Amino acid sequence: MAMYLISFPSAAMQVPEAEFAAVGRAAHAVIDEAKAAGVYVFAGGIDERSPPVRVSADGGVTPGGYPWAPALEGGFTVLDLPTREDAIAWAARIARACRCEQELRVFQFDPQV
* pLDDT of res. 94: 98
Going 62 to 63 to 69 to 73, the CA torsion angle's sign is: positive
- 57 DSSP 8-state letter: T
Each residue's pLDDT tens digit, 69-96: 998 899 999 999 999 999 999 999 999 9
| pLDDT for 3 beyond 90 | yes
Q: Tell me the angle at which helices 20-37 and 84-98 cross, rounded to the nearest 10 degrees.
A: 150
Rounded Cα gap, residues 6 and 21, in angstroms: 21
Band of the pLDDT at 66, cuts 50, 70, 90?
very high
Q: How many CB atoms lie within 10 A of CB 7?
A: 22
